[in-house]
Amino acid sequence: MLLLKQLFGKERLLRNFEWKSGVHSSASKVVTFKLGRPPFTTDKTTSLGADGTRPGRPASRQRILLTLILWLGTAAVLAAEELAAQRAAFQVVLNLQSQGQHEKAREAIRGLENYPLFPYYLYNDLRRRLNQLPHAEVQKFLRDYEQFPLAERMRAAWLKVLRRKQRWQSFIDFYQPSGSTSVRCDFLRARIETGDERAVLSETRSVWLDGSSLPDTCDFAFERLYASPLMTDALLLQRIGLAFDKNNTRLAGYLGKRLQTADSRQRFDAWQDAHSTPLRVLQQQQVEDDETHRALAQHALLRLSRRDPELSAKVWLQASAHYRFSEEDRGIALRTIALGLAGAKAPGAIRALDAVPESHADDRIQALRLRTGIENRAWPHLARWTAGPSPTSVYALRWRYWQARALEEIGQTSAANALQHELAQERDYYGFLAAERLGEDYRFNNRTVGATEEELAGLASRAALVRARELLLLEQPEDARREWFHELRHLDKRQLEIAASLAASWEQPSDAILALGRAQSYDDLELRFPLLHHKEISLQATRRDLDPARVLAIVRSESAFNARARSHAGALGLMQLMPATARQTATRIGLPLTHTEYLYRPRENITLGTAYLSTLLKTYDGNFVLTSAAYNAGPSRVNSWLPPVCTPAEFWIEQIPFTETRRYVRRALFYTAIYQQRLGATVEPLSSVMPQILTNLSAEEASCNS
């Protein structure tokens, strides 16, 4: 019945229906199954039916239900078989297309028009003929499949063709706003080419007014802007300032050459001086105190604070005595100085952070206050700084935990304990730390999503998810994920939870984790922390003297069990190995690695990943905090982050300069505890795997323990 529900959906089971399939690969005609009214006993020549009913009367409800179930069950089996046959036939079509045998593909696709992935055949066929296609054929595809991810890709490809052929009116007809500045500039050009130049100038100016270098496709529209009355020296100087703010000196120089008046060129020279020799500009006392020179002084202060934060703080006192800065300007300057001092961990950082007006204490200042307060054990400041709600850039539980620690350190034990007790209810790194401080048990709070068969069947019958499933079965994972992501945008919270269960049943754990994340539903530990590849992981972990829970935690953190994962940096597979690291490890353990494609294979990836993890763990004398940091950021960086004095691990973690690595280490620690609980092993307290961080891994251990 579940299979039947997945194929037809709940509503269609509750009424008489007609099912029409496509065609078997071995047949050329459409096979049609019609299921009409359920059978009744109507033979009036017999006094009693076999079930004891009188002639002409319906059979018993039980018999009707049994017959209906048998009929529907048969139909479901036939439907599944038919779909499998269509899938096999479509694979042949895809193979023919990939081999360039398009005429044979066109013959082979006949009869598969009702197969869910038929639009993919059309897409492939249209893409290869895009240069010769008439307007109407593309328009029909986009109209027929506007709800498909394919439509977005087809539109983008078609717009490139129209641009290349300079069919500007068609470009306007097909254009839809997107995040691409290049395509937006093409749209501006299309409007200019079709006679809409005056109307488009204002929009062109808004695109142009950016401190970044913009795509070459924008040049056509920009040249019209430069030639228009809208382009003035004042506007050029405005963008020059934006360019200098982004340290884009090449763009600033290009724009400077377009300035018309001597006064404007003099102001440009002043901007260059503020950018290249900020100290000299800030120390000038003979310049006028006007808006222009105040802006230059602020830029010079920003530049100097990055080069020499301590000097910038001193020079600011001189500049603020000369210039009549507004309160807004003063706030910006104090924020700039605080960022420089705190970023450089310079003396006076605490005082500078404290001096920033609350009106300018944005998320970045708040994050630096937290980090600097922890590093310097500035508990009174930290207690005051964290008294309010956490900024969006700082993880809320992190904020509350260090607020509790600060309150504890300044003697407000009762308030600290109350806050830590709240935190201890959370299944989280900080929740576990708080529980340990109070001597309480960890709260794992496992609550399953509990998707019913009806819910799973109903969601699985949605057209996009039917396509996603078929694409997975045809080993087209990228297209499957596009369909999956596209459909998730249309689901509510409960549907997202059901989608997570569905993805898990399809052995797509990363998609399940993603769906739960979008639903902000974090309590189903079986879905969020799967045990996929557990047998291979346990085998290799035992071989390398590793805790399987730690390996699972690394896999979960690195790839979320997506064996085809590839990072922006080029790390591959389940344990996200860089090819060079994988080759070195393979040579060391004697494992042939003839092609990096092998890193997408779970067995090879786990073998190499566990070997590399074991090496790191030995390098760092069993310290999993340093090991996990090195696995993410590399050993050389971690070695450069070692503290000047022996430091508790929870303090050192907060000082990791890379946000990604800082989060990664926290996850690795508490994911390990979750996997230990899932595996039925003893859950090690976090404190037992967080020894103090030594300056020298072979010395000073005695001083740490003293």
Residue found by looking up tokens 């050192």 in the block: 652
What pairs with residue 572 in β-bridges? 566, 577
CA 577 from centre of chain: 19
Residues in the chain, total: 706
| 443, 427 contact by CB (below 8 A) | yes
Helix or strand or coil: residue 450?
Answer: coil
59 φ, ψ (degrees, to nearest 5): -65, 170
End-to-end Cα separation, the chain, in angstroms: 68
Sign of the torsion formed by the C-alpha atoms of 167, 172, 173 and 176: positive
d(CA 369, CA 347): 14
Q: How far apart are CA 497 and CA 450, in angstroms?
A: 9
Task: Give the whole-angstrom CA distance, residue 571 versus residue 7.
Answer: 38
Note the Cα 497 to chain centre separation in Å. 18
DSSP readout, 167-203? Answer: -HHHHHHH----S-HHHHHHHHHHHHHTT-HHHHHHH
**Catalytic member of 558, 654, 684, 701:** 558
Q: What letter would DSSP give residue 504?
A: H
User: In the annotation, is 650 catalytic?
Assistant: no
Query: If you search the block for the tokens 């009188």, which residue do you land on?
Result: 54
Q: What is the crossing angle of helices 233-245 and 291-307, to 10°?
A: 20
> Which residues, 6 or more positions from 307, have their beta carbon under 8 angstroms from its beta carbon?
278
Residue 373 and residue 389: Cα distance in Å, rounded?
A: 17
Give the ranges where 544-683 is alpha helix by DSSP (H): 548-558, 579-589, 602-619, 624-633, 635-641, 649-654, 659-678
* Residues near 395 by beta carbon (within 8 Å), at least 6 away in sequence: 663
Q: CA torsion angle for 385, 388, 391, 395 (degrees, to 10)?
A: 90
Q: Which helix (H) or strand (E) holds 32?
A: strand 32-35
* C-alpha 524 chain-centroid distance: 21
Catalogue the active-site residues.
Answer: 558
